[in-house]
Structure formats: structure tokens, C-alpha cells
Chains A and B, each alone.
Chain A
Amino acid sequence: DAKTTQPPSMDCAEGRAANLPCNHSTISGNEYVYWYRQIHSQGPQYIIHGLKNNETNEMASLIITEDRKSSTLILPHATLRDTAVYYCIVPTRGTSYGKLTFGQGTILTVHP
């Protein structure tokens, strides 16, 4: 998998937008960026993924820079339940197995 770099931790006030950055400077042209999160003592949960264009769903928005070397996950109105570890992953294409490699992620703490 292409290497990704995320800050180890971030804080956010409840109700404010949480912007989580990720650097993936070695990403190839056909590789997607995936975001997952893991709430304490639960399995990781898929959030969103994208290739080139910005994406939005009911959980979050994903902004990918034009050169695709970095991206930002945006939680528009963070709640206390969004406190979790957020993982940015760029799986390596070329296999049918699609193995995801999880790094250390960003610990997001949402406070009242």
C-alpha cells in the first residue's frame, strides 16, 4: 500500500467541523484513498473513499488535492460520538485481494 502520513492526534469542539489531514505523496494515478474509523472496542467502520473528485456522503466529505498527494476528511458537525481513531488508507492495486494495511491513524477527540 502507498504510505500515508497522519497526525497522531487532534482535538475538536462539539458542533464544529473536524478536518483530518492525510499525506499520500506516493499515490499512483489509479489508486483510491479510503477512510475508516475505529471507535474504542469496535471494529473499523468504512467512512468514505475517493479517486480524484471530492466526495460527500451522510457521514463525511473527502477533499482530495488536485495533485492527489494529500486529502482531508471533513466531519462537518462533530459530535462526542465521533471520538475515534481515523485511518487514511491507500490500498495497492494490482491484486484481487484488496488487503488493507492500517497505520496508526489519527486519534480524534471531540470535547464538549
Chain B
Amino acid sequence: SQTIHQWPATLVQPVGSPLSLECTVEGTSNPNLYWYRQAAGRGLQLLFYSVGIGQISSEVPQNLSASRPQDRQFILSSKKLLLSDSGFYLCAWSAGPYGYTFGSGTRLTVV
């Protein structure tokens, strides 16, 4: 069966520090991969999506970047975190166009 792993579950980072969040998928090939962010009390915002290795599309301009070095690995990064980067980060995958499976999320607090 397909599973999605996302870590860490929680993270507290100082302003200006780098960030690396990793997401891996098992049990499927060539999935579409997505990074979402949910700020406190807000809805889910799509940040990045990828349809293949090395293919990244950004939905909103921001302080973050994404990479897909392997078929089932999706990484969210930042060189210097801002306070506004705090939020709940969710990775998701889909094998077809529209059915998503989400990871358990990373709660990031920038202090």
C-alpha cells in the first residue's frame, strides 16, 4: 500500500536560520507531489507542486524553495527563515489527477 512520510513533526527555528523539510512516498511510482502551508487560523495554501524529478512549479512568490531529487522524495527549503514562515506544512501526493493523500504535517515555529 502507498504511504507518505513527513518529518520532523514539529520544529522551532530562529529567524534567519535555514530550513529543510523532507517528504517521501512509498508504494507508488511517478506521483504528483505537493507542498501546502496552513498559517494559524487560515486555510491551506498550495506552495509548490512537482510532476517529476527536477520539475518544480511555484504557486506563490515566497521565501521558500522546493526540490525533487528522486522520484518519491520532495524537499522544502529556505536559506533564511522569516517569522512569517511559521505554519503547518503538509506534503501530499497523488497518482491520478485529483485524489490526494496528505502526510501528517510539520508544525514550524520561527522565533
A binding-site residues for B, Cβ under 8 Å = 32, 34, 36, 38, 41-46, 49, 91, 93, 95-105
Contact = CB atoms under 8 A, between A and B. Distances in A.
Interface stretch (B12-20, B43-51, B60-68, B74-82): B43-51
Interface band, chain B: 20 to 34
Contacts of A104: 43
A56 B57 CA distance: 35
Contacts of B49: 97, 99
Q: Per DSSP, are chain B's interface residues mostly helix, strand or loop, or mixed?
A: strand
Given A96-B51, A103-B43, A42 B105 contact: yes
Q: Per DSSP, are chain A's interface residues mostly helix, strand or loop, or mixed?
A: loop
A101 B76 CA distance: 20
A45 B46 contact: no
A95 B32 CA distance: 12
Nearest to A43: B102
A97 B102 contact: no
Interface string B91-111: 010101111111111010000
Nearest to B94: A98
Contacts of B104: 42-43
B97 A43 contact: no
B90 interface: yes
Contact of B103 (A43, A95, A99): A43
